[in-house]
Amino acid sequence: MKVILAAAALLALGACAKPETLSARPPDLAGIDLARGPGPSYRDAITVASVGVSMDTGTPWTSAAGPAQVQEALVQTLVAARLASAGNGRFRLDAVLLTLQRPYAGFAMTVTATIGYRLTEVATGAVVYTTTVTTPGTATLDDAYMSDTRLRIADERAIRANFRRLVEALYALPDRGPLTH
């Protein structure tokens, strides 16, 4: 009887645990020609400067993915795509998580992430690229039984899909050539 009570108590505590925060694992970059890589001026040249979170009152910010977690995931994505600079890069990337539209309930939960990006050449201050990317991410009962966990998985999938689209766009940018002073 004591064993059964102890097991029930552990299950109850586990059910109350908060879901994990956004992991820094980069998105699946399959299908992107990583061997060809970005233009030479962008290769290993981008530093993630800041990641902000919009104060969108229309979408309640209840995700465990805060600015620090999103920034780390973005850095890991740029590293995997051969875009990240080890130090102060030639380019600075700023990002703002504008909205994270999350459902209140459901069996299949789809989260939509909208992130604004601005790529600036540090030496000149020239804005090289600016865009807003909106991507969905879905998690079903096959992914997780608990709705909080499904939402976390959908959050991660939406943000990772967004980062993948950013990498595709950065790979398509024309080369800027050497920096002239």
Q: Per-residue pLDDT averaged across 13-26, rounded?
A: 51
Domain ranges of the chain: 2-172
51, 31, 35, 55: which is closest to 43 by C-alpha? Answer: 35
Strands of 46-53's sheet, edge to edge?
Answer: 46-53, 91-101, 109-121, 127-139
Closest among 70, 55, 40 to 155, alpha carbons compared: 70
Q: Which CATH class is domain 2-172?
A: alpha beta
Residue among 29, 26, 161 at smallest CA distance from 100: 161
Rounded Cα distance between 97 and 10, Å, is 36
* pLDDT, tens digit, 9 for 90 and up, residues 120-169: 999 999 999 999 999 999 999 888 888 888 988 999 999 999 999 999 99
Using the predicted structure, report yes or no on whether residue 60 has a pLDDT greater than 50.
Answer: no
| Strands annotated E in 102-169 | 109-121, 127-139
Against a cut of 0.85, is the pTM above it? Answer: no
Q: Quickly count: other Cβ atoms within 10 Å of residue 173's Cβ.
A: 14
Task: Summarize the confidence of residues 21-33 as an average pLDDT.
Answer: 73
CA distance 37 to 171: 7
Mean pLDDT over the full length of the chain:
81
- The whole-number pLDDT of residue 148 equals 84
Look at residue 177 in the predicted model and tell me its pLDDT. 79
